Every structure is written in C-alpha cells, then in structure tokens.
Amino acid sequence: MAKLLEGKVAIVTGAGGGIGREHALYFAKEGAKVVVNDLGGDRHGGGKGGELADKTVADIKAAGGEAVANYDSVSTREGADGILWSALSKFGKVDVLVNNAGILRDRTIVNMSDQDLNLVLDVHLKGTFFCMQAVARQLKVQGKGGRIVNTSSLSGLIGNFGQGNYAAAKGGIYSLTRVAALEFAKMGVTVNAIAPVALTRMTEDLPMMKGVKADDLGPQHISPVAAFLASDLAAEITGQIVGVQGSKVFLYRMEETPGVSKDKGAWTPAEIKERWAEITR
Ligand code: NAI
C-alpha cells in the first residue's frame, strides 16, 4: 500500500525539537522527503547551532527515510529562500510547507521590551509569511498545487495572560492562513493551520503542564493531524484552524453573532447599552 506522503517533498521548520521534530519523523515514515530546518537556538531565540536538525536527520535516515538538514532562521527573507533552496537543490521540488518554528519571550504588555516584541513577531509572524511566500512562488511555478500547514495557538485565538507578543503573532498567523487560503486556491494550494497543545521544552514549565504525562499530551498527537492536512486526503480542506490537544481534535472558528439592526439612522451609545444582551447573543 502506498504511504500517505509518498513522492512528496516537505519542508518542516523548527524540526530539530518538540512538535516539529515529531512532524519530520512522521512525515518521513509516511514516505515524504523532508527538509529538516532548525536554527538550533534556545527557546527564547538566543544562540544557534546545527546539532538539533542534524539529530532529526540522522534519526530519519536510521529509520530508512530521506532528509536533509537546514540551519537558516525563518525570520528573514534570506533564511526562507535558503530553506526553499535546500528542498530544490537536494530533492528538486517542494510540495508541502509546515511552518512550525517558534520561540517564547513572555512578558506582560506594560513590561515588554522592544526586543521581546520584535523577536517573537519576527520568528512567528514574519517567519511564517516569508516561508509561505517563498514556497508559494515556487508552487506557482511548478503548477501542481501543494499544501501549507501553519501553526497558530490558543494564545493567539483566545488570548493568554503575559503573551501579548506571542498572541499577536499567532493571531496574525490565523489571519495570514485565511488570506493565503483565498489567494492560493487558484493554484491548487491549500492553507490550513493547527493550534496544538503539547508537552515540549516550550511548555514543560507552565503551570497547566504540571503532572501531565507525555503519553497523554505529547507531540505524537499533533503530527498525524499535520500529516492529514499535508496529504491528498485533505485536498478539499482549506482556511481551517484545527485544534489538537492530546487525543482531542476540533476546529476553531471566528464567530459573528446575528446581532441587531435599526430601521433608520445610527445607533446611540445609550441604545447600544440597552440592546447589548441581544447584540452579543
Ligand atoms: P520547541 O521549542 O520544542 O520547538 C521549536 C523549534 O523551533 C526549536 O527546535 C527551535 O530551535 C526552532 N526555532 C526557533 N526559532 C527558529 C528560527 N528563527 N528558525 C528556525 N527554527 C527556529 O517548541 P514546540 O512546543 O515544539 O513548538 C512548535 C510550534 O508549536 C511553535 O510555533 C509554537 O509556538 C507552537 N505551539 C506550541 C504549543 C505547545 O503546547 N507546545 C502550543 C501552541 C503553539
């Protein structure tokens, strides 16, 4: 039986650890040739190195799969071009992009430095944009469609205390996913996002992860969903944000209430106050 991603070339960013590493191993097991991108820094965006990406590549090869390492940062256009180039020079094409790389620099808004804001926006939001743009341009030239899977977050979709920078970036990735799904439809390229919760180095010291077992909330629950969205099984699915928390898989949707309308003229603030319960119902 053919494997789910047989013949596909997939780029996974941030694939040296956590969820991205799991994606890369899973995609390779399902027959994809994988570009394992990772800058190799710490979880706050400091430092860099090739060990993380090299280890994922070595583990894929040891299991009989095909992979190449790339150490560029997703956060610059040059980095994104370099990642795409790794796919083209080693495997001759690209079919799938999984934007997964990420860092955290949690601060409340009043305490946030410009560096905390800029680094997080650069890696998550601009990184997703640059990689998506570079790969979409290539997919357009190839003319055979493709799959893009972005990574948003509960924090950006619902909000989370102390994560103004990260939530703004992840909310932006939600919006980018919606726009890209519309723009790339005519190229046969689907664009979806996952919003995971998993025990990784990024989350291991959060209060919500205290006592959580890797079996229940490990990255192994996330990658099958990413592989589904990256595969031909999901050819008709685009613009969706899929939540994955352990064995629970669900959709996030932006909500518009039915609201209220007025026969004539603009509402006054006092009228809005009076009808607030109906507006928000
Ligand atoms: P992680 O810290 O284990 O892995 C992130 C990887 O991205 C690291 O290997 C890191 O070296 C790499 N990376 C960081 N900056 C990079 C850059 N500029 N260029 C290339 N690679 C870079 O974190 P985890 O938990 O695996 O997160 C993966 C994605 O899932 C992130 O986008 C994160 O925001 C998102 N996410 C994770 C959640 C969780 O519960 N673990 C919750 C919601 C979202």
Residue 71 is among the residues annotated as catalytic for this protein = no
Task: Name the residue of 200, 201, 244 whose CB sits within 8 Å of the most ligand 1 atoms, as the mutation to test its pocket.
Answer: 200
Report how far ligand 1's centroid is from the alpha carbon of 126 (Å): 14
Map out the domains of the chain as residue ranges. Answer: 9-256
Token pair 């899977």: residue: 149
Q: Which atom of ligand 1 is nearest to the CA of 124?
A: 32
> Residue 277: helix, strand or coil by DSSP?
helix
Q: Select from 124, 127, 83, 82 the least CA-distant residue to 103.
A: 124
Q: What is the pLDDT of residue 26?
A: 98
Instruction: Classify burial at 124, counting beta carbons within 10 Å of its beta carbon; exposed 0-12, middle 13-18, buried 19 or more.
Output: buried
pLDDT in tens, the chain (281 residues): 899 999 999 999 999 999 999 999 999 999 999 999 999 999 999 999 999 999 999 999 999 999 999 999 999 999 999 999 999 999 999 999 999 999 999 999 999 999 999 999 999 999 999 999 999 999 999 999 999 999 999 999 999 999 999 999 999 999 999 999 999 999 999 999 999 999 999 999 888 899 999 999 999 999 999 999 999 999 999 999 999 999 999 999 999 999 999 999 999 999 999 999 999 99
Q: What is the pLDDT of residue 13?
A: 98
Q: What is the pLDDT of residue 77?
A: 98
Report how far ligand 1's centroid is from the alpha carbon of 200 (Å): 9
Helices within 145-268 (DSSP H only): 154-157, 164-184, 214-217, 223-230
> Is the distance from CB of 132 to CB of 148 less than 8 angstroms?
yes
Q: Which of 26, 71, 166, 252 does the annotation list as catalytic?
A: 166
Among protein residues, the one with the nearest Cα to ligand 1's atom 15 is: 102
Give this prediction's pTM.
Answer: 0.97
Q: What is the pLDDT of residue 54?
A: 98
Q: Which atom of ligand 1 is nearest to the CA of 38?
A: 21
DSSP 76-114: SHHHHHHHHHHHHHHHS---EEE--------B-GGG--H
CATH H-level, domain 9-256: superfamily: NAD(P)-binding Rossmann-like Domain (3.40.50.720)
Task: Name the residue of 23, 37, 38 whose CB sits within 8 Å of the most ligand 1 atoms, as the mutation to test its pocket.
Answer: 38
DSSP3 helix / strand / coil % (the chain, rounded to 5): 45, 15, 35
Q: What is the pLDDT of residue 206?
A: 87
Q: Select from 160, 165, 279 the least CA-distant residue to 208.
A: 160
Report how far ligand 1's centroid is from the alpha carbon of 202 (Å): 7
